[in-house]
Amino acid sequence: MEKSNGLQVILFPLPLQGCINPMIQLAKILHSRGFSVTVIHTRFNAPRASSHPFFKFLQIPDGLSETETRSRDVNLMLTLLNERCESPFRDCLTKLLQSPESGTEQKKQRISCLIHDSGWIFTEPLAKSLNLPRLVLNATKVSFFRGHFALPQLRRERYLPLQEQEDPVQEFPPLRKKDVYQLLDEESEVLDAYLNRIHDTAKSSSGLIFMSCEELDQDSLTQTRQDFQVPIFAIGPSHTRFPAFSSSLLTPDETCIPWLDKREDRSVIYVSFGSLVTISESELLEIAWGLRNSDQPFLWVVRVGMVNGTKWIEAIPEEVMERLSEKGKIVKWAPQQDVLKHRAIGGYLTHNGWNSTVESVCEGVPMICLPFIWDQFLNARFVCDIWRVGLHLENRIERNEIERTIRILFLEAQGEAIRERMELLKEKVGRSVKQNGSAYRCLENLVDHIYHLSS
Protein backbone atom coordinates (compact mmCIF):
# COMPACT_ATOMS: atom_id res chain seq x y z
CA MET A 1 0.00 0.00 0.00
CA GLU A 2 1.09 3.56 -0.69
CA LYS A 3 1.43 5.78 2.36
CA SER A 4 -2.02 6.51 3.82
CA ASN A 5 -3.56 9.62 2.33
CA GLY A 6 -5.72 10.09 5.41
CA LEU A 7 -8.93 9.48 3.49
CA GLN A 8 -11.49 6.77 3.93
CA VAL A 9 -13.92 5.27 1.41
CA ILE A 10 -17.01 3.30 2.38
CA LEU A 11 -17.97 0.50 0.01
CA PHE A 12 -21.36 -1.21 -0.11
CA PRO A 13 -21.50 -4.22 -2.51
CA LEU A 14 -24.61 -6.21 -3.42
CA PRO A 15 -24.30 -9.70 -1.92
CA LEU A 16 -23.89 -11.56 -5.22
CA GLN A 17 -20.60 -13.12 -6.33
CA GLY A 18 -20.54 -11.18 -9.61
CA CYS A 19 -20.98 -7.89 -7.69
CA ILE A 20 -18.70 -8.66 -4.73
CA ASN A 21 -15.70 -9.47 -6.94
CA PRO A 22 -15.49 -6.09 -8.72
CA MET A 23 -16.20 -4.18 -5.49
CA ILE A 24 -13.43 -5.98 -3.62
CA GLN A 25 -11.13 -5.40 -6.57
CA LEU A 26 -11.95 -1.70 -6.40
CA ALA A 27 -11.29 -1.79 -2.65
CA LYS A 28 -7.85 -3.30 -3.29
CA ILE A 29 -7.05 -0.67 -5.89
CA LEU A 30 -8.09 2.22 -3.66
CA HIS A 31 -6.25 0.75 -0.69
CA SER A 32 -3.11 0.47 -2.78
CA ARG A 33 -3.51 4.18 -3.51
CA GLY A 34 -3.51 5.15 0.15
CA PHE A 35 -7.23 5.12 1.01
CA SER A 36 -8.45 3.25 4.03
CA VAL A 37 -11.40 1.04 3.19
CA THR A 38 -14.55 0.18 5.12
CA VAL A 39 -16.90 -2.40 3.59
CA ILE A 40 -20.50 -2.45 4.78
CA HIS A 41 -22.08 -5.77 3.84
CA THR A 42 -25.11 -7.93 4.48
CA ARG A 43 -25.08 -11.07 6.61
CA PHE A 44 -26.16 -13.03 3.53
CA ASN A 45 -23.15 -13.85 1.32
CA ALA A 46 -20.84 -11.92 3.62
CA PRO A 47 -17.36 -11.50 2.13
CA ARG A 48 -14.57 -13.31 3.99
CA ALA A 49 -13.11 -10.61 6.21
CA SER A 50 -10.10 -12.79 7.06
CA SER A 51 -8.97 -12.67 3.40
CA HIS A 52 -8.68 -8.89 3.56
CA PRO A 53 -6.97 -7.95 6.80
CA PHE A 54 -6.44 -4.34 5.69
CA PHE A 55 -10.12 -3.53 5.27
CA LYS A 56 -12.65 -2.88 7.99
CA PHE A 57 -15.86 -4.93 7.57
CA LEU A 58 -19.18 -3.93 9.10
CA GLN A 59 -22.07 -6.37 8.84
CA ILE A 60 -25.69 -5.24 8.73
CA PRO A 61 -28.72 -7.49 9.25
CA ASP A 62 -30.57 -8.13 5.98
CA GLY A 63 -33.72 -9.75 7.35
CA LEU A 64 -33.60 -12.62 4.84
CA SER A 65 -34.89 -15.94 6.12
CA GLU A 66 -33.04 -19.20 5.34
CA THR A 67 -35.63 -19.99 2.65
CA GLU A 68 -35.27 -16.54 1.10
CA THR A 69 -31.48 -16.84 0.93
CA ARG A 70 -31.94 -20.06 -1.03
CA SER A 71 -34.29 -18.41 -3.53
CA ARG A 72 -33.21 -18.62 -7.14
CA ASP A 73 -35.26 -15.57 -8.03
CA VAL A 74 -32.61 -12.86 -8.11
CA ASN A 75 -35.12 -10.06 -8.72
CA LEU A 76 -37.14 -11.07 -5.69
CA MET A 77 -33.95 -11.24 -3.64
CA LEU A 78 -32.90 -7.73 -4.73
CA THR A 79 -36.33 -6.32 -3.93
CA LEU A 80 -36.30 -7.87 -0.45
CA LEU A 81 -32.74 -6.73 0.21
CA ASN A 82 -33.59 -3.16 -0.75
CA GLU A 83 -36.67 -3.17 1.48
CA ARG A 84 -34.96 -4.68 4.48
CA CYS A 85 -31.47 -3.19 4.40
CA GLU A 86 -32.39 0.47 4.19
CA SER A 87 -32.82 1.07 7.87
CA PRO A 88 -29.86 -1.06 9.10
CA PHE A 89 -27.66 0.58 6.47
CA ARG A 90 -28.76 4.04 7.60
CA ASP A 91 -27.96 3.18 11.22
CA CYS A 92 -24.58 1.72 10.31
CA LEU A 93 -23.55 4.62 8.11
CA THR A 94 -24.70 7.25 10.57
CA LYS A 95 -22.84 5.51 13.38
CA LEU A 96 -19.73 5.24 11.25
CA LEU A 97 -19.76 8.95 10.50
CA GLN A 98 -20.15 9.71 14.19
CA SER A 99 -17.80 7.05 15.56
CA PRO A 100 -14.84 8.15 17.72
CA GLU A 101 -12.46 7.23 14.88
CA SER A 102 -14.12 9.75 12.63
CA GLY A 103 -16.15 11.49 15.27
CA THR A 104 -15.13 15.11 15.27
CA GLU A 105 -16.58 17.42 12.68
CA GLN A 106 -13.12 17.83 11.29
CA LYS A 107 -12.52 14.11 11.00
CA LYS A 108 -15.93 13.39 9.58
CA GLN A 109 -14.84 15.13 6.41
CA ARG A 110 -12.01 12.66 6.04
CA ILE A 111 -14.52 10.11 4.80
CA SER A 112 -14.39 10.91 1.08
CA CYS A 113 -17.37 9.09 -0.24
CA LEU A 114 -19.68 6.12 -0.33
CA ILE A 115 -19.28 3.77 -3.31
CA HIS A 116 -22.27 1.44 -3.66
CA ASP A 117 -23.49 -1.09 -6.18
CA SER A 118 -26.00 0.34 -8.66
CA GLY A 119 -28.50 -2.24 -7.38
CA TRP A 120 -28.88 -0.42 -4.03
CA ILE A 121 -31.62 2.12 -4.69
CA PHE A 122 -32.21 3.73 -1.29
CA THR A 123 -28.84 5.43 -0.90
CA GLU A 124 -29.50 8.81 -2.54
CA PRO A 125 -31.58 10.64 0.10
CA LEU A 126 -29.58 9.08 2.90
CA ALA A 127 -26.16 10.12 1.56
CA LYS A 128 -27.57 13.55 0.75
CA SER A 129 -28.87 14.05 4.28
CA LEU A 130 -25.44 13.07 5.63
CA ASN A 131 -23.68 15.31 3.13
CA LEU A 132 -21.71 12.34 1.89
CA PRO A 133 -20.67 12.22 -1.80
CA ARG A 134 -21.76 9.03 -3.52
CA LEU A 135 -20.33 7.05 -6.43
CA VAL A 136 -22.06 4.13 -8.12
CA LEU A 137 -20.34 0.94 -9.27
CA ASN A 138 -22.11 -1.10 -11.92
CA ALA A 139 -20.92 -4.67 -12.49
CA THR A 140 -22.24 -5.09 -16.05
CA LYS A 141 -20.97 -4.02 -19.44
CA VAL A 142 -21.61 -0.30 -20.08
CA SER A 143 -23.78 -1.12 -23.11
CA PHE A 144 -26.01 -3.32 -20.98
CA PHE A 145 -26.27 -0.68 -18.27
CA ARG A 146 -27.33 1.94 -20.80
CA GLY A 147 -29.56 -0.34 -22.87
CA HIS A 148 -31.46 -2.03 -20.06
CA PHE A 149 -33.30 1.15 -19.18
CA ALA A 150 -35.19 0.61 -22.46
CA LEU A 151 -36.75 -2.61 -21.16
CA PRO A 152 -39.87 -1.02 -19.57
CA GLN A 153 -40.62 0.74 -22.86
CA LEU A 154 -40.06 -2.44 -24.86
CA ARG A 155 -42.44 -4.27 -22.57
CA ARG A 156 -45.10 -1.53 -22.85
CA GLU A 157 -44.94 -1.69 -26.62
CA ARG A 158 -45.50 -5.44 -26.51
CA TYR A 159 -42.52 -5.74 -28.73
CA LEU A 160 -41.26 -8.74 -30.64
CA PRO A 161 -43.44 -10.74 -32.93
CA LEU A 162 -41.81 -14.15 -32.89
CA GLN A 163 -41.37 -14.56 -36.64
CA GLU A 164 -38.75 -11.76 -36.68
CA GLN A 165 -36.58 -13.32 -34.04
CA GLU A 166 -33.23 -12.64 -35.67
CA ASP A 167 -33.90 -8.90 -36.23
CA PRO A 168 -31.77 -6.43 -34.30
CA VAL A 169 -33.36 -4.37 -31.54
CA GLN A 170 -32.63 -0.70 -32.31
CA GLU A 171 -33.19 0.41 -28.72
CA PHE A 172 -30.85 -2.19 -27.26
CA PRO A 173 -28.04 -3.13 -29.65
CA PRO A 174 -26.59 -5.62 -30.44
CA LEU A 175 -29.40 -7.76 -28.99
CA ARG A 176 -31.72 -9.57 -31.35
CA LYS A 177 -35.44 -9.71 -30.79
CA LYS A 178 -35.24 -13.26 -29.51
CA ASP A 179 -32.75 -12.17 -26.83
CA VAL A 180 -34.95 -9.34 -25.61
CA TYR A 181 -37.91 -11.67 -25.72
CA GLN A 182 -36.16 -13.90 -23.20
CA LEU A 183 -35.20 -10.94 -21.06
CA LEU A 184 -38.75 -9.60 -20.98
CA ASP A 185 -40.21 -13.01 -20.52
CA GLU A 186 -38.79 -13.40 -17.07
CA GLU A 187 -39.19 -9.83 -15.89
CA SER A 188 -42.12 -8.22 -14.21
CA GLU A 189 -43.53 -4.76 -13.71
CA VAL A 190 -41.88 -4.66 -10.32
CA LEU A 191 -38.63 -4.77 -12.19
CA ASP A 192 -39.59 -1.77 -14.32
CA ALA A 193 -40.00 0.35 -11.19
CA TYR A 194 -36.70 -0.98 -9.88
CA LEU A 195 -34.94 -0.02 -13.13
CA ASN A 196 -36.29 3.52 -12.93
CA ARG A 197 -34.92 3.85 -9.42
CA ILE A 198 -31.51 2.49 -10.51
CA HIS A 199 -31.49 5.08 -13.28
CA ASP A 200 -32.33 8.00 -11.00
CA THR A 201 -29.95 6.86 -8.27
CA ALA A 202 -27.12 6.66 -10.82
CA LYS A 203 -27.97 9.97 -12.44
CA SER A 204 -27.90 11.85 -9.15
CA SER A 205 -24.54 10.37 -8.12
CA SER A 206 -21.11 12.01 -8.22
CA GLY A 207 -19.93 9.49 -10.78
CA LEU A 208 -20.29 6.03 -12.29
CA ILE A 209 -17.64 3.30 -12.24
CA PHE A 210 -17.52 0.36 -14.66
CA MET A 211 -15.20 -2.60 -14.94
CA SER A 212 -14.84 -2.06 -18.66
CA CYS A 213 -12.74 0.10 -20.97
CA GLU A 214 -12.90 2.11 -24.19
CA GLU A 215 -11.66 -0.92 -26.11
CA LEU A 216 -14.72 -2.97 -25.07
CA ASP A 217 -17.37 -0.29 -24.70
CA GLN A 218 -16.42 2.79 -26.68
CA ASP A 219 -19.77 3.86 -28.19
CA SER A 220 -21.74 3.10 -25.06
CA LEU A 221 -19.33 5.12 -22.97
CA THR A 222 -19.78 8.18 -25.15
CA GLN A 223 -23.57 7.79 -25.10
CA THR A 224 -23.75 7.09 -21.38
CA ARG A 225 -21.69 10.20 -20.66
CA GLN A 226 -24.22 12.20 -22.66
CA ASP A 227 -27.26 10.56 -21.04
CA PHE A 228 -26.09 10.75 -17.45
CA GLN A 229 -24.03 13.93 -17.38
CA VAL A 230 -21.89 12.67 -14.52
CA PRO A 231 -18.22 11.66 -14.61
CA ILE A 232 -17.82 8.09 -15.85
CA PHE A 233 -14.82 5.93 -15.07
CA ALA A 234 -14.29 2.75 -17.10
CA ILE A 235 -11.34 1.52 -15.08
CA GLY A 236 -10.90 -1.71 -17.02
CA PRO A 237 -10.76 -5.37 -16.16
CA SER A 238 -9.71 -4.70 -12.59
CA HIS A 239 -8.73 -8.28 -11.75
CA THR A 240 -5.62 -7.86 -13.88
CA ARG A 241 -4.21 -5.43 -11.31
CA PHE A 242 -4.23 -7.91 -8.44
CA PRO A 243 -3.32 -11.46 -9.43
CA ALA A 244 -4.89 -13.73 -6.82
CA PHE A 245 -8.57 -13.59 -6.17
CA SER A 246 -9.69 -13.73 -2.59
CA SER A 247 -13.32 -12.64 -2.78
CA SER A 248 -14.73 -16.04 -3.69
CA LEU A 249 -17.75 -16.99 -1.58
CA LEU A 250 -17.17 -20.68 -2.25
CA THR A 251 -13.94 -22.57 -1.72
CA PRO A 252 -12.21 -23.24 -5.04
CA ASP A 253 -11.05 -26.78 -5.73
CA GLU A 254 -7.32 -26.33 -6.07
CA THR A 255 -6.83 -29.80 -7.58
CA CYS A 256 -7.89 -28.26 -10.90
CA ILE A 257 -4.43 -26.84 -11.50
CA PRO A 258 -2.35 -30.05 -11.10
CA TRP A 259 -4.99 -31.79 -13.24
CA LEU A 260 -4.52 -29.15 -15.95
CA ASP A 261 -0.73 -29.43 -15.63
CA LYS A 262 -1.03 -32.94 -17.05
CA ARG A 263 -2.94 -31.84 -20.16
CA GLU A 264 -1.59 -30.62 -23.47
CA ASP A 265 -1.48 -26.96 -24.43
CA ARG A 266 -4.86 -25.52 -25.44
CA SER A 267 -6.53 -28.91 -25.30
CA VAL A 268 -9.07 -28.45 -22.47
CA ILE A 269 -12.53 -26.93 -22.63
CA TYR A 270 -13.42 -25.19 -19.36
CA VAL A 271 -17.15 -25.20 -18.57
CA SER A 272 -18.73 -22.94 -15.99
CA PHE A 273 -22.00 -21.04 -15.67
CA GLY A 274 -21.03 -18.72 -12.81
CA SER A 275 -22.68 -18.38 -9.44
CA LEU A 276 -26.38 -17.97 -10.24
CA VAL A 277 -27.46 -20.04 -13.25
CA THR A 278 -29.42 -23.23 -12.63
CA ILE A 279 -30.11 -26.04 -15.11
CA SER A 280 -32.41 -29.05 -15.27
CA GLU A 281 -31.37 -32.68 -14.90
CA SER A 282 -31.88 -33.31 -18.60
CA GLU A 283 -29.75 -30.28 -19.50
CA LEU A 284 -27.02 -31.63 -17.21
CA LEU A 285 -27.08 -34.90 -19.13
CA GLU A 286 -27.05 -33.23 -22.54
CA ILE A 287 -24.01 -31.20 -21.54
CA ALA A 288 -22.33 -34.30 -20.10
CA TRP A 289 -22.84 -36.27 -23.32
CA GLY A 290 -21.87 -33.32 -25.52
CA LEU A 291 -18.60 -32.93 -23.64
CA ARG A 292 -17.84 -36.65 -23.67
CA ASN A 293 -18.64 -37.08 -27.34
CA SER A 294 -16.49 -34.11 -28.35
CA ASP A 295 -13.56 -36.21 -27.16
CA GLN A 296 -11.86 -33.06 -25.90
CA PRO A 297 -10.62 -33.03 -22.28
CA PHE A 298 -12.87 -30.87 -20.09
CA LEU A 299 -12.93 -29.19 -16.70
CA TRP A 300 -16.54 -28.63 -15.64
CA VAL A 301 -17.84 -26.61 -12.69
CA VAL A 302 -21.17 -27.86 -11.34
CA ARG A 303 -22.05 -25.93 -8.19
CA VAL A 304 -23.84 -27.68 -5.37
CA GLY A 305 -27.53 -26.88 -5.96
CA MET A 306 -27.00 -25.82 -9.58
CA VAL A 307 -29.07 -28.69 -10.96
CA ASN A 308 -32.72 -28.17 -10.06
CA GLY A 309 -34.12 -30.79 -7.73
CA THR A 310 -30.81 -32.52 -7.02
CA LYS A 311 -27.87 -31.98 -4.72
CA TRP A 312 -25.00 -32.20 -7.13
CA ILE A 313 -24.35 -34.56 -10.08
CA GLU A 314 -26.08 -37.69 -8.80
CA ALA A 315 -28.47 -37.46 -11.77
CA ILE A 316 -25.63 -38.65 -14.03
CA PRO A 317 -25.82 -42.46 -14.19
CA GLU A 318 -22.75 -44.35 -13.00
CA GLU A 319 -21.82 -45.78 -16.39
CA VAL A 320 -21.95 -42.28 -17.90
CA MET A 321 -19.81 -40.96 -15.04
CA GLU A 322 -17.21 -43.61 -15.83
CA ARG A 323 -17.04 -42.51 -19.43
CA LEU A 324 -16.89 -38.85 -18.38
CA SER A 325 -13.98 -39.38 -16.03
CA GLU A 326 -11.91 -40.86 -18.87
CA LYS A 327 -11.70 -37.37 -20.35
CA GLY A 328 -12.71 -34.82 -17.79
CA LYS A 329 -12.92 -33.49 -14.28
CA ILE A 330 -16.00 -32.13 -12.53
CA VAL A 331 -15.57 -29.76 -9.58
CA LYS A 332 -17.93 -27.78 -7.36
CA TRP A 333 -16.08 -24.47 -7.75
CA ALA A 334 -12.85 -23.61 -9.55
CA PRO A 335 -10.10 -21.04 -9.08
CA GLN A 336 -11.43 -19.59 -12.33
CA GLN A 337 -8.88 -16.89 -13.02
CA ASP A 338 -5.99 -19.33 -12.54
CA VAL A 339 -7.79 -21.88 -14.68
CA LEU A 340 -8.33 -19.45 -17.56
CA LYS A 341 -4.67 -18.44 -17.35
CA HIS A 342 -3.50 -22.03 -17.64
CA ARG A 343 -1.74 -22.99 -20.87
CA ALA A 344 -3.88 -26.15 -21.14
CA ILE A 345 -7.15 -24.22 -21.56
CA GLY A 346 -8.24 -23.85 -25.19
CA GLY A 347 -11.85 -22.75 -24.84
CA TYR A 348 -14.53 -21.72 -22.36
CA LEU A 349 -18.14 -22.87 -22.52
CA THR A 350 -19.65 -20.02 -20.57
CA HIS A 351 -22.86 -18.36 -19.40
CA ASN A 352 -21.22 -14.99 -20.23
CA GLY A 353 -21.52 -13.22 -16.91
CA TRP A 354 -19.58 -9.97 -17.38
CA ASN A 355 -16.77 -10.93 -14.99
CA SER A 356 -16.27 -14.29 -16.67
CA THR A 357 -16.44 -12.79 -20.16
CA VAL A 358 -13.78 -10.20 -19.33
CA GLU A 359 -11.60 -12.76 -17.55
CA SER A 360 -11.73 -14.92 -20.66
CA VAL A 361 -10.86 -11.99 -22.95
CA CYS A 362 -7.94 -11.02 -20.73
CA GLU A 363 -6.50 -14.53 -21.03
CA GLY A 364 -7.24 -14.79 -24.75
CA VAL A 365 -9.53 -17.81 -24.30
CA PRO A 366 -12.17 -18.12 -27.07
CA MET A 367 -15.70 -18.80 -25.86
CA ILE A 368 -18.69 -20.96 -26.59
CA CYS A 369 -21.62 -18.87 -25.45
CA LEU A 370 -24.64 -20.20 -23.61
CA PRO A 371 -26.33 -17.23 -21.93
CA PHE A 372 -29.20 -17.91 -19.52
CA ILE A 373 -30.27 -14.66 -17.89
CA TRP A 374 -30.05 -10.88 -17.83
CA ASP A 375 -26.87 -9.22 -19.21
CA GLN A 376 -25.51 -12.60 -20.31
CA PHE A 377 -27.51 -12.34 -23.57
CA LEU A 378 -25.85 -9.07 -24.48
CA ASN A 379 -22.33 -10.17 -23.53
CA ALA A 380 -22.76 -13.28 -25.68
CA ARG A 381 -23.80 -11.15 -28.69
CA PHE A 382 -20.71 -8.98 -28.28
CA VAL A 383 -18.48 -12.05 -28.08
CA CYS A 384 -19.97 -13.73 -31.15
CA ASP A 385 -21.34 -10.97 -33.41
CA ILE A 386 -19.22 -7.89 -32.68
CA TRP A 387 -15.79 -9.08 -31.52
CA ARG A 388 -16.22 -12.48 -33.25
CA VAL A 389 -14.18 -14.31 -30.64
CA GLY A 390 -16.64 -17.07 -29.86
CA LEU A 391 -19.43 -19.32 -31.10
CA HIS A 392 -23.04 -19.03 -29.96
CA LEU A 393 -25.02 -22.09 -28.95
CA GLU A 394 -28.25 -20.09 -29.49
CA ASN A 395 -29.64 -21.69 -26.35
CA ARG A 396 -29.59 -25.19 -27.76
CA ILE A 397 -28.54 -27.35 -24.84
CA GLU A 398 -28.33 -30.44 -26.94
CA ARG A 399 -25.53 -33.01 -27.00
CA ASN A 400 -24.86 -33.01 -30.78
CA GLU A 401 -24.83 -29.24 -30.93
CA ILE A 402 -22.41 -29.00 -28.01
CA GLU A 403 -20.14 -31.65 -29.51
CA ARG A 404 -20.22 -29.96 -32.94
CA THR A 405 -19.40 -26.51 -31.54
CA ILE A 406 -16.50 -27.78 -29.45
CA ARG A 407 -15.06 -29.55 -32.47
CA ILE A 408 -15.32 -26.37 -34.59
CA LEU A 409 -13.55 -24.35 -31.91
CA PHE A 410 -10.74 -26.82 -31.30
CA LEU A 411 -10.24 -28.54 -34.63
CA GLU A 412 -11.44 -26.42 -37.54
CA ALA A 413 -10.17 -23.38 -39.43
CA GLN A 414 -13.12 -21.33 -38.19
CA GLY A 415 -11.94 -22.01 -34.64
CA GLU A 416 -8.41 -20.98 -35.54
CA ALA A 417 -9.66 -17.66 -36.97
CA ILE A 418 -11.64 -17.05 -33.77
CA ARG A 419 -8.52 -17.76 -31.72
CA GLU A 420 -6.48 -15.27 -33.75
CA ARG A 421 -9.09 -12.53 -33.30
CA MET A 422 -9.21 -13.28 -29.58
CA GLU A 423 -5.45 -12.88 -29.34
CA LEU A 424 -5.75 -9.40 -30.88
CA LEU A 425 -8.59 -8.42 -28.56
CA LYS A 426 -6.63 -9.67 -25.55
CA GLU A 427 -3.68 -7.49 -26.54
CA LYS A 428 -5.89 -4.43 -27.06
CA VAL A 429 -7.60 -4.81 -23.70
CA GLY A 430 -4.29 -5.64 -22.03
CA ARG A 431 -2.83 -2.35 -23.30
CA SER A 432 -5.73 -0.38 -21.81
CA VAL A 433 -4.68 -1.19 -18.24
CA LYS A 434 -1.01 -0.46 -18.87
CA GLN A 435 0.48 2.97 -18.34
CA ASN A 436 -1.35 5.60 -20.38
CA GLY A 437 -3.92 3.11 -21.66
CA SER A 438 -7.58 4.20 -21.51
CA ALA A 439 -8.45 2.23 -18.36
CA TYR A 440 -5.23 3.28 -16.68
CA ARG A 441 -6.05 6.95 -17.28
CA CYS A 442 -9.63 6.47 -16.08
CA LEU A 443 -8.38 4.95 -12.86
CA GLU A 444 -6.01 7.87 -12.30
CA ASN A 445 -8.95 10.23 -12.88
CA LEU A 446 -11.13 8.25 -10.47
CA VAL A 447 -8.52 8.42 -7.70
CA ASP A 448 -8.19 12.14 -8.32
CA HIS A 449 -11.96 12.57 -8.33
CA ILE A 450 -12.38 10.75 -5.00
CA TYR A 451 -9.58 12.77 -3.55
CA HIS A 452 -11.28 16.01 -4.50
CA LEU A 453 -14.73 14.91 -3.35
CA SER A 454 -13.51 15.17 0.21
CA SER A 455 -12.03 18.64 -0.10
Contact positions toward ligand UDP, by CB under 6 A? 16-18, 21, 248, 252, 272, 274-276, 301, 333-334, 336-337, 353-356, 359
Q: To 10 degrees, the CA torsion angle through 388, 391, 394, 395?
A: -130
Rounded-to-integer distance, Cα 384 and Cα 378, Å: 10
**Between 100 and 243, whose beta carbon lies closer to ligand UDP?**
243
**Between 235 and 276, whose beta carbon lies closer to ligand UDP?**
276
**Between 47 and 274, whose beta carbon lies closer to ligand UDP?**
274
Closest approach of ligand UDP to the CB of residue 353, in Å: 2
Closest approach of ligand UDP to the CB of residue 354, in Å: 5
Rounded-to-integer distance, Cα 56 and Cα 40, Å: 8
CB–CB of 327/246 below 8 Å?
Answer: no
**Between 36 and 337, whose beta carbon lies closer to ligand UDP?**
337
Closest approach of ligand UDP to the CB of residue 262, in Å: 20
**Between 135 and 334, whose beta carbon lies closer to ligand UDP?**
334
**Between 44 and 333, whose beta carbon lies closer to ligand UDP?**
333
Closest approach of ligand UDP to the CB of residue 334, in Å: 4
Angle between helices 214-228 and 413-433 (to 10 degrees): 60
Q: How many CB atoms lie within 10 A of CB 311?
A: 10
Rounded-to-integer distance, Cα 3 and Cα 34, Å: 5
**Between 142 and 447, whose beta carbon lies closer to ligand UDP?**
142
Host H or E run for residue 348: strand 345-350
Closest approach of ligand UDP to the CB of residue 252, in Å: 6
Closest approach of ligand UDP to the CB of residue 226, in Å: 27
Neighbouring residues of 37: CB distance < 8 A, sequence distance ≥ 6: 8, 9, 11, 27, 30, 31, 54, 55, 56
Rounded-to-integer distance, Cα 259 and Cα 236, Å: 31
**Between 154 and 380, whose beta carbon lies closer to ligand UDP?**
380
Distance of CA 284 to the CA centre of its chain: 23
Closest approach of ligand UDP to the CB of residue 383, in Å: 13
CB–CB of 446/243 below 8 Å?
Answer: no
Per residue, the 3-state secondary structure of 398-454, as one string, reads CHHHHHHHHHHHHHCHHHHHHHHHHHHHHHHHHHHHCCCCHHHHHHHHHHHHHHHHC
Rounded-to-integer distance, Cα 278 and Cα 303, Å: 9
Closest approach of ligand UDP to the CB of residue 128, in Å: 30
